[in-house]
Amino acid sequence: METPPFEKPEADPDAGWVGGWSTGARANSAALLRWMLWGLVALGPLLGALAYLSVPNSPVTAAPKSAPSVPVASGGQGAAGFASLFIGAYLPVGSGDEPKLAVHYPPAGSLQLDGGSGRCRGEQLTLVRLRQIGSTVWSVTVAARVTGASPTASKYCEPGDR
């Protein structure tokens, strides 16, 4: 049996579907994706401005690093302080000023000092070295600029002046 020439064959019912999607569904998906991308593009500057405005005004400062502390044996600071005070008191004393040293070191009251009182003085006393020799014995080195009695004196205190 032949089909008459004026009749059309039946159309395939799946002709409008491409890969399980209709062309209308593909168009809707593309439009949705396009609107989502434009929404992200528009939100970018808005979120950036919001982040900029939410930053605190005060700068955050880092906590200062503390220097590692070296344990100081007990008595070291006391020995260093005593040595500096004693040298500062010893330099200006002379004959007859022995009781002034006895304040720092009682046996110094029986010393016999030579030279005149107040001829030398110590300036810029500085601890140079501190070592513990025994359990209660310390070795302390103090540097001092030894000058004459008056600040305007041009002559330094000589070793013979002591």
- Helix/strand/coil (H/E/C) assignment for every residue in 102-129: HCCCHHHHHCCCCCCCCCEEEEEEEEEE
**pLDDT at residue number 37:** 94
Please report which helix (H) or strand (E) contains residue 45, including its range.
helix 23-53
What's the whole-number mean pLDDT along residues 78-82? 84
- Looking at the chain, the whole-number percentage of residues with pLDDT higher than 70 is 67
Confidence grade of residue 79 (pLDDT, cut at 50, 70, 90): confident
pLDDT value at 48 more than 70: yes
81, 72 Cβ separation under 8 angstroms: no
How confident is the prediction for the chain on average, in pLDDT? 75
Which is it for the CA torsion 21, 23, 25, 28, positive or negative? Answer: positive
What's the whole-number mean pLDDT along residues 12-21? 58
**pLDDT at residue number 160:** 52
